[in-house]
Structure 1
Amino acid sequence: MSDRTGTLDEALERLHTTGPERNGWLSNHAPMAVEALVRHGQAATVHRWLDHYADRLEESPPPTRTLTAADAAGALGDPARITDWTLFFGRELEARPWREVLAEWWPRLLPGIAAGATHPVIRTGHAVRTLLESGEAGTTAPRLAELAHALGYWAARHQPLPALAPLAAAPSAAAALDAVPLVPEQDGGIRERLAQLTAFPVWGTAPDPDTAQERLVELVTAATHRYATHGHGEPVMLVHAATAPNAVLRALPALPRELWAPSLAAAWAAAAAVTAAYGPAEAMACAPVSLAPEEVFARAAAHGDDHTIKFTDTALDVGGPLALAAAVRSIELNPPFL
């Protein structure tokens, strides 16, 4: 990422004094939102947006004890050790190249992609995109620290999905999402909803890395388009059906190619899980829009909602009229923040 204003690093430094959650479970979306704002030419709005977001931030929890590679497996999925994990990854990233650390830990963390309602993998995707676009010369301490915070959050909230039975194979990502059975009880939080999952359509396998990447693009596209007609079911949570697999897609170029196929499978599981947990029974028509991408993002930035900003960022990655219509739909459905 070329950010000549220095705003992104300033914002990240400001945010790294805070924890990844508030009220014991709700995610801190600010690092992801400010990365998207800066990337899409809205750097001038970032510090004002953070001022408004400040009451949603909490200090980082105190560390409990030093985490080492030898005892890391036993601490996986322990949210009480969020700060221990962040400090662990900070040390790892100081000692080794960030791609090496990511390649080692990605397959360990991937089975827990549902962690924290998929926010940790999304935060990781934003951090990796920034590092990839920065290049070696632009790899600053705040950007490496952001990857440590993202991976630490993922490790602490690591949450595998329940065992799932295979349903009939679907011919496309869109058809697979259409065929996902909705959970029977949709009154609880995401943990209660995910516990009800029993089966998904067969999709999300690939014979080679290139096919895995192509199908991941297809999945992100299908989930983004689906929001246009199904986002009303739960406008905030359903954005993650698109933003979680897009986070995985953003990370692929930094990963060994042998990890691309399992990354696709995990991304499909995440998108299907969110769809099952929050999808509505019926679709609604979505009006087309005739707006330029930069105008759509400017509307999302003015709207200010963190999920809307991140979803619009993904919709611009997808591109095309239906993705832009889905982004506008998210602006209409989600309550404004600013």
Structure 2
Amino acid sequence: MPSISYHDAVNEALERMDDLGYERGAGVDLANHGPMGAEALAVLGYEGEVAGWVERYRVAMPHHEPPAARFPLDPDDESSWRPALGAFDRAGDWERLFARELAGAPWRDVLARWWPRLLPGLFAGLTHGLIRTAHAVRALYGSADGKPTQFQLAELARGLAYWAARYTALPGQARLRGSYDLAGAIAALPRVPGDGGPMHPGVARGRLARLADLPGYAEALDALAVEHAPYLLSEMTAQFSDVYLSHDEVFPVPLIHGVTAPAAARLVLPHLPADQYEPTLAALWQVHTALLLAFTTSRRGEGTGAWRAEPAPELRAELPSLDELGARAVEHGDEHVLKFTEACRREYALRPDPRFRAAVAVAQRRIAPLGK
């Protein structure tokens, strides 16, 4: 039995990280993963490890200063808030807006109001606006007494604020009126060959900037057929575990979000009106299409099971259990590994596909441990 509860471990972690800005890194703008990683660690059942992990995370990479609020945003006046979407220098204003909203209405009402407004910008921060929001939502409905703490509400305000401030609308619109299932839609998407160099984030950013002109992008948005939300979410997480396994030539972090973004949406959808399900699936498919075109140059082994023949030791023998992989994730410590392991464990419980376990095992090898 843990010596500290999930609720207390997460709340104490949020308090300890209350001073951290939205992003981190010297000369780069990487999302603050601290609250997400701490919450995932607690969900994995390692509540007693959260405090120590938070201290290691804080010193692993410098965080930027929290942005100051400057000009109020009016949530009831679209001409006030809409121009501030995607303006990171307004992050402090967004945080203050959401703090006011959450102080005056139940958090589910605030979420339902803003979800359709933010959804077209789902790619924000490589989907970290959505993911941070989802971890905050799970902490809120996981509260033992049902009463959110000030730090839990502040974390939801920051998740939504980061989403709004890094709001990134992709070109076109996915309508989910095609004839392919997800595997077929992925297979039908033509990849844009590279120049033979490594597929690092700088190359991907260039591709994202000209996404609308890349072959197959517009057609892909209309290729996928809509299905019942929980089923298609499981297809998304399983198929993009396969994508992750198939692309060891890609920098090892970005494609993880093809799994963690729909897994995060699954945490939030039960708290939203039913009419938000299909638009959320469409936005996720658009993000997936962008990830595939930006970061991959061919299908490689996608959909073939080729990963089973990979010489990596973790795939040669019987795959470790997810409990064992959870223990390894805690020892590894990297925030992406923690979040990915927790998401895949949760998805595996709904659909016991071996690709979840294999993808976690491979990610734990490809990604450097915390502080390394």
Give the paired residue count. Answer: 334
Conserved 8 A contact 1:234-1:279 = no
From 53, 58, 61, the equivalent of 2:57 is 53
Residue equivalent to 2:17:
15
Residue equivalent to 1:110:
119
Matched, 1:242 2:248: no
Give the CA deviation at 1:135: 6.6
Q: Distance in 1 between matches of 2:192 and 2:74?
A: 39
* Counterpart residue type for residue 291 of structure 1: P
Residue equivalent to 1:149:
158
Conserved 8 A contact 1:37-1:46 = yes
Matched, 1:308 2:337: yes
Q: Which moved more, 1:237-246 or 1:45-54?
A: 45-54
- Relative to the length of structure 2, the TM-score reads 0.82
Write out per-residue CA displacement over residues 149-181 of structure 1, whole angstroms, 9 at most, x where no aligned residue. Answer: 000000011110023799995632223233333
Residues 37 and 167 of structure 1: CA distance in aligned 2, closer, same or farther (over 3 Å): closer
Q: Distance in 2 between matches of 1:81 and 1:312?
A: 33
* Counterpart residue type for residue 329 of structure 1: V
* SS in structure 1 of the partner of residue 288 of structure 2: helix
Give the CA deviation at 1:192: 2.7
* SS in structure 2 of the partner of residue 62 of structure 1: coil
Conserved 8 A contact 1:122-1:244 = yes
Q: Distance in 2 between matches of 1:119 and 1:190?
A: 17
Larger radius of gyration: 2
From 222, 242, 251, the equivalent of 1:225 is 242
Q: Which moved more, 1:109-118 or 1:170-179?
A: 170-179
Write out per-residue CA displacement over residues 252-277 of structure 1, whole angstroms, 9 at most, x where no aligned residue. Answer: 10100011000110111112212221
* SS in structure 2 of the partner of residue 238 of structure 1: helix
Residue equivalent to 1:196:
210
**Structural mapping, 1:50-89, within 5 Å:** 50-55=54-59, 56=61, 57-69=63-75, 70=77, 71-89=80-98
Conserved 8 A contact 1:239-1:311 = yes
Residues 120 and 166 of structure 1: CA distance in aligned 2, closer, same or farther (over 3 Å): closer
Q: Distance in 1 between matches of 2:193 and 2:21?
A: 34
Q: Which moved more, 1:152-161 or 1:170-179?
A: 170-179
Residue equivalent to 2:346:
317
Residue equivalent to 2:148:
139
Conserved 8 A contact 2:177-2:226 = no
Residues 285 and 253 of structure 1: CA distance in aligned 2, closer, same or farther (over 3 Å): same
Conserved 8 A contact 2:262-2:284 = yes
* Counterpart residue type for residue 319 of structure 2: S
Q: Distance in 2 between matches of 1:93 and 1:179?
A: 43
Q: Distance in 2 between matches of 1:168 and 1:222?
A: 20
Give the CA deviation at 1:94: 0.7
Q: Distance in 1 between matches of 2:173 and 2:118?
A: 19
* SS in structure 2 of the partner of residue 137 of structure 1: coil
* SS in structure 1 of the partner of residue 307 of structure 2: coil
Residue equivalent to 1:181:
190
* Counterpart residue type for residue 128 of structure 1: V
**Structural mapping, 1:245-324, within 5 Å:** 245-279=262-296, 281=298, 282-283=300-301, 285-286=307-308, 287=315, 289-319=318-348, 320=352, 321-324=354-357
* Counterpart residue type for residue 307 of structure 2: A
Conserved 8 A contact 1:231-1:238 = no
Q: Which moved more, 1:326-335 or 1:188-197?
A: 188-197
- Superposed CA RMSD: 2.5
Conserved 8 A contact 1:233-1:280 = no
Q: Distance in 2 between matches of 1:58 and 1:227?
A: 30
Residue equivalent to 1:43:
47
Q: Distance in 2 between matches of 1:313 and 1:158?
A: 26
* Counterpart residue type for residue 318 of structure 1: E
Residues 153 and 189 of structure 1: CA distance in aligned 2, closer, same or farther (over 3 Å): farther
* SS in structure 2 of the partner of residue 11 of structure 1: helix
Conserved 8 A contact 1:183-1:196 = no
Q: Distance in 2 between matches of 1:299 and 1:16?
A: 28
Give the CA deviation at 1:59: 2.6
Q: Distance in 2 between matches of 1:49 and 1:112?
A: 31
* Counterpart residue type for residue 91 of structure 1: R
Q: Which moved more, 1:152-161 or 1:135-144?
A: 135-144
Conserved 8 A contact 2:192-2:297 = no
Give the CA deviation at 1:336: 1.4
Q: Distance in 1 between matches of 2:248 and 2:172?
A: 27
Give the CA deviation at 1:229: 2.5
Q: Distance in 1 between matches of 2:225 and 2:178?
A: 11
